[in-house]
Structure 1
Amino acid sequence: MRFAPLLLVALLAAGCAEKPVPPEEPVAEVKAEAPAAVVEETPKFKNSTLKYLAGRNLKPQPTRPLNVRSRCTHKDAIGTQTRLDLLVKEAEVKTFDAQVSMKGYGACRFNLNEFEQVEKLPQALLRHKKQSDCLVRMWEQGPKVTIAFNSCPKSCEGQAFDYLWPIMVEAKSGRCF
């Protein structure tokens, strides 16, 4: 009788233990032959953004050599001044001189003499000669050309690089904003 409570506890513990579940085997999919007249179904999208793009006739931007000429200046509403001299012919950067002054933060300066062109397509890519992580990318986006700066804080005064946005250029007119 002394062992009866121990036996009871052991039986209760054994009853609570989970039985190992064998891994499920994949179920083979049965493909039915499509009827002669197949009706196109609208695909079901998991992502809500893709759902809104489904009915539109969107085409990818063609990959072609970049051609743009711009000599412009621009001042925005918060006082950021941009000065750009740019010439790209058949994806080869011939002239590039950019200065962006941000009110209260300093200025950033970029000159082609400090860079070497390492790619032409799909984007014109310039790499700084002394700072290998500093990159300038140029690409066409519809009627505009974008000039973006990556990891170039040494080309700027103080913390101006933290506030540097890409420069946008209207491809046909050369106007920057």
Structure 2
Amino acid sequence: MRAGWALLLVLLAAGCAEVEKQPEPVVAAEPEKEAPPVSSEPKFKNSTLKYLANRNLKPQPTRPLNVKSKCSHKDAIGTTTQLDLLVKESLIKSFSAQVTMKGYGACRFNLKDFEQVEKMPQPLLRHKKDEGCQVRMWEQGAKMTIAFNSCPKACDGDAFSYLWPIMVEAKSGRCF
């Protein structure tokens, strides 16, 4: 038992001992080299972007949007969406949307109140009387998104604060 205590005491003393600091080696300056060839892999400075670098992400192709949808959907919390949409070659032919948020009111959008100001890369509608109000549409894989920006006047009360984009399956026209 005394040998165990003695060993412990020696180990503790060794842990407290100071070690001489070794001088840092002097590195001779290397002659300047030509800049390395530009790599196809971009160098990311932002820590968030570096996590995306090794993924096989490809940009969404820029092509005219074509979608037809006449759908209605009710989600688990009682939000009801009704949509009538026809877009051909990024030209919006018909658009009518009503989103009713249970307990908050409804938002209504109709093509007659908007003018189309852009076709590519995304169709963009701007409200005729309220310039800040815009409706954007874009493709995301097999789905199409309809987003509403700065349109509180199209909604009852504070309903615009609870308005989410409408997603549409491009092939089936189903909305959610």
**TM-score band w.r.t. shorter chain:** 0.7 to 0.9
Superposition deviation, residue 41 in structure 1? 10
Paired residue secondary structure (1:71): strand
Q: 1:31 to 1:70 in 2, by over 3 A?
A: farther
* Residue 168 (structure 2) aligns with: 169
* Structure 1: gaps of 5 or more residues: 1-29
Paired residue secondary structure (1:62): coil
TM-score w.r.t. the length of structure 2 is 0.76
* Residue 114 (structure 1) aligns with: 113
Q: What's the % identity of the aligned pairs? A: 77
> For residues 87-138 of structure 1, what are the alpha-carbon distances to aligned partners after superposition, in whole Å with 9 as ceiling and x for unaligned?
0000000010000000001000000011110000011000111111110000
Q: Output the amino acid matched with 2:130.
A: Q
> What RMSD, in angstroms, separates the aligned Cα atoms of the two structures?
2.1
Aligned counterparts of 2:169 and 2:123: Cα–Cα separation in 1: 17
Q: Output the amino acid matched with 2:60.
A: Q
> For residues 14-58 of structure 1, what are the alpha-carbon distances to aligned partners after superposition, in whole Å with 9 as ceiling and x for unaligned?
xxxxxxxxxxxxxxxx751379xx8x7976644332222222222
Paired residue secondary structure (1:123): coil
Aligned counterparts of 1:49 and 1:112: Cα–Cα separation in 2: 39
Q: 1:124 to 1:32 in 2, by over 3 A?
A: same
Paired residue secondary structure (1:50): helix
* Residue 145 (structure 2) aligns with: 146
Paired residue secondary structure (1:33): coil
Paired residue secondary structure (2:95): strand
How many pairs are equivalent? Answer: 145
* Residue 11 (structure 1) aligns with: none
Paired residue secondary structure (1:109): strand
Aligned counterparts of 1:137 and 1:34: Cα–Cα separation in 2: 44
* Residue 78 (structure 1) aligns with: 77
* Structure 2: gaps of 5 or more residues: 1-30
Aligned counterparts of 2:113 and 2:42: Cα–Cα separation in 1: 50
Structure 2 residue 93 is matched with structure 1 residue 94: yes
* Residue 156 (structure 1) aligns with: 155
TM-score w.r.t. the length of structure 1 is 0.75
Paired residue secondary structure (1:84): strand
> For residues 121-177 of structure 1, what are the alpha-carbon distances to aligned partners after superposition, in whole Å with 9 as ceiling and x for unaligned?
011000111111110000111111110001111111111111101001111111111
* Residue 15 (structure 1) aligns with: none
Aligned counterparts of 1:42 and 1:92: Cα–Cα separation in 2: 37
> For residues 47-70 of structure 1, what are the alpha-carbon distances to aligned partners after superposition, in whole Å with 9 as ceiling and x for unaligned?
332222222222211111100011
Structure 2 residue 127 is matched with structure 1 residue 128: yes
